Structure 1
Amino acid sequence: LPPKHSQEDGSSQNSSCLLRTEVGKAFMTAGTSLQSLKLWIQALDAFSEALEIFKDAGLPPDNQCVLRARLLANSSSLPKLVLVRRDSSNCIKLRHAQKLRELARKYPDDCATPDEGDEVSMDLSSHPGLGIVLTRPNSEGN
């Protein structure tokens, strides 16, 4: 991107602002595409980047682009998580929690590839027959 503030004439500064605004709009478009793929965190990052670009471009808070980026960010909230007491019937308990703690100590780096046989099912002892699974966009059940 061109520098935020330059010593150039007004028309050059105006074209820089227009360019920044278009880049911000591109981030908004990317964010909505990420939302459709259920990539909520990445979508929020894209909307935040758009807002930062609009701010750097000098757009006022009531500008249509800024307002739209804020609206999109607010609509990209993560799926709801409800906290409950430990003794609640809605509290989930993992059947293999101890094994998961052991593996967490064995692989402190999130990017480490587990050895064969170090996989653990995420069965719930609190809700027999149910478990936690990773879902991906366009997978069955979505």
Structure 2
Amino acid sequence: MTIGELLAATVPMVRTLELAYLETTPEKAVLALPDQEEYRNHVGGPHAGAMFTLGESASGAVVLAAFGDQLARAVPLPVHAEIDFRKIALGPVTATATLGRPIPEIVAELDAGERPEFPVAVEIRREDGAVTAEMTVVWTLRPGG
């Protein structure tokens, strides 16, 4: 089962927004939000909440890809999220999430009994390539599985 299939099966909002998992690696995840009338805002683009969910979901996908082998001993949780809207988004949008720290460094903190925190940077783009939003989600690996 792929990460996208796993998240679609376990996170109802992923199914609701029909998010598509285009790429998921331990360093980067790319998700797409289709243009859907029922999730548009007052200017005809994707609602801010839908864009936030897209970005947070992309960040979670890269975290699962990077730390899926740690799930028996730690639970990944978002700690803080911030989004800046740059341009109006119209039509479908794509989020690219990038892990902000080296995986071995984060695992070493977990090995030392710490609760590591690490940022995931997300860019949300329109079809024409323009960045419509930038987001940072800080994640933690809470020991205890």
TM range (shorter): under 0.3
* Higher RCO (C-alpha 8 Å, min separation 6): 2
Whose helix proportion is higher, 1 or 2?
Answer: 1
Scaled by the length of structure 1, the TM-score of the pair is 0.27
More strand by share: 2
